Amino acid sequence: MGRGASIMPQPQLMQQQPDLYAYEQHQDIAGIVTLQLAPGKTMEHLGIKIQFIGRIDRSMGSIQEGGGKAHHDFISLSKDLAPPGTLYQSVQIPFDFRHMDKEFESYAGRNICLRYFVKVVVERKFFPPLVKEHDIWIRKLGQPPTQNDAIKMEVGIEDCLHIEFEYERKVYHLHDIILGKIHFLLVRIKIKHMELAVIRRETSGGSSGGGNNNNNNNTNANANVLTETQTLVKYEIMDGAPVKGEVIPVKLSLKGIPADLTPTYNGVCNLFSVRYFLNLVLVDEEDRRYFKQQEIILWRKELG
């Protein structure tokens, strides 16, 4: 922790990286603070404290477009580890933060980072405090929805194309399989192929309450919302021209997506949202593209 001191949290759940530990939402946070002194050295201090902080960090782009501060702390707890005194040797001090409901899952996005960390502060007379932070990763288990209706909708171009989308459900866990069908009711244009993509849309700044925003990597000046859209995966699900009455099956495994899927975040602290969409694209022989997006809701069923 600066000048020879370190903090070493003890893992409670699983190790993500050599220095990053993951906890389930309701687990207690516990560990050991190690203050290391060189042999024969002493250090006077004005007290040692530890903090547990939940913070939303915003990138400069999000700040400039959406206004506000660089970060927002939604959790801030502090405990004293030692009163003012003098350290004559290296010491280890246990700590814990118990019975805390960590409301949100950790998230690292393009313009937003929702992070949890412990912070040790050693106050010193005449000198700046010694500070050490250590991030942890929180994962939140969700609950299956009480109602999960199928998605059905008809779209098309008058007298040219009429199709019906059908997906079995709207809400999926992160390892789920999306099943559906696409019915061609009218086909009077020459379709070359059809693609299905999973899109992540992150909105930040202003009041990101989860409303529809179909802009791609741009700013909605009226709402002061910065939007970043990522195509996580894209598959070709049909090759060749369909005919009237044809039905194309859809099967997509969310577990097989190489990108890191997260649960849906909706208006977190009125600062950001993360939403997922299925994007169906039809391409005709003149490379014109016809597309329709449908939002899906994601939740975490299991850790890992």
Work out how many domains the chain is built from and give that number. Answer: 2
CATH number of the domain at 253, please: 2.60.40.640
pLDDT tens for the chain, 304 residues: list them: 433 334 444 333 233 344 678 899 999 999 999 999 898 899 999 999 999 999 999 875 544 444 455 889 999 999 999 999 999 999 999 999 998 889 999 999 989 999 999 999 999 998 999 999 999 999 999 999 999 999 988 887 777 888 898 999 999 999 999 999 999 888 888 888 889 999 999 999 765 555 544 444 544 444 578 899 999 999 998 888 888 888 989 999 999 898 889 999 999 999 999 999 999 998 888 888 888 899 999 999 988 6
Predicted model pTM: 0.82
Look up residue 123 and give its DSSP letter. -
Tell me whether residue 161 is in a domain.
yes
Which domain-ending residue is among 139, 160, 189?
139
Which domain-ending residue is among 82, 109, 139?
139
187 and 225 fall within a common domain: yes
Q: Are 56 and 107 in contact (CB under 8 A)?
A: no
Length of the chain (residues): 304
Q: In a 3-state reduction of DSSP, which class is residue 248?
A: strand
**What is the span of the domain harbouring residue 85?**
5-139
Neighbours of 113 (CB within 10 A): 17
